[in-house]
């Protein structure tokens, strides 16, 4: 009888110890959706980020800065790479210049409207040349070359 009580006591302590622990990490929100591009291509994944503070350094070589132009205008990446566009325009005088941007690709994939300090990312899975323009400032054009 004594070993049974000891085992029950150990089991009770185990249940109490397991029930008292909590995860300190917040849940991770889903940030991507799959968007079909063309019937002949595999789907690409669209990833949207939270706004970036203006003084945050660029996160990778695959980052395109938007400030009245795309910098760089042409970017070459490997298949499967993520390209990130960061709106670094300022709101100095929005009456003279609209600092918002919205990208549109030839296949009609579009970004959300990017206000200053916001960013948007896109994963390029298929090799090819992807031309895009700014829907707000239609003279702005860029190209992503995927190897």
Does the pLDDT at position 60 exceed 60? no
**What kind of fold does domain 44-146 have according to CATH?**
Immunoglobulin-like (2.60.40)
Residue ranges per structural domain of the chain: 44-146
What local confidence, expressed as pLDDT, does residue 17 receive? 52
0.75 exceeded by pTM: no
Per residue in 3-28, pLDDT (tens digit) is 656 655 665 555 555 555 444 545 54
Higher pLDDT, 30 or 14: 14
d(CA 119, CA 129): 22
With a CB cutoff of 8 Å and minimum separation 6, the contacts of 53 are 117
Give the H/E segment covering residue 48.
strand 44-48
Kindly tell me the sign of the dihedral angle through the C-alpha atoms of 116, 63, 130, 120.
negative
């Amino acid at each position: 009888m004594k070993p049974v009580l000891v085992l029950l006591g150990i089991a009770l302590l185990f249940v109490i110890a397991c029930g008292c622990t909590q995860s300190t990490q917040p849940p991770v929100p889903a940030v991507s959706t799959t968007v079909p591009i063309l019937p002949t291509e595999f789907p690409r994944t669209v990833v949207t980020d939270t706004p970036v503070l203006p003084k945050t350094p660029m996160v990778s070589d695959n980052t395109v800065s938007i400030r009245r132009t795309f910098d760089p205008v042409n970017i070459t990446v490997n298949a499967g790479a993520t390209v990130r566009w960061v709106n670094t325009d300022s709101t100095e005088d929005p009456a003279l210049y609209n600092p918002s941007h919205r990208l549109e690709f030839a296949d009609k994939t579009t970004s959300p409207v990017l206000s200053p300090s916001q960013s948007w990312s896109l994963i390029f899975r298929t090799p090819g040349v992807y031309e895009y323009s700014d829907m707000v400032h239609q003279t702005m054009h860029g190209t992503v070359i995927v190897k």
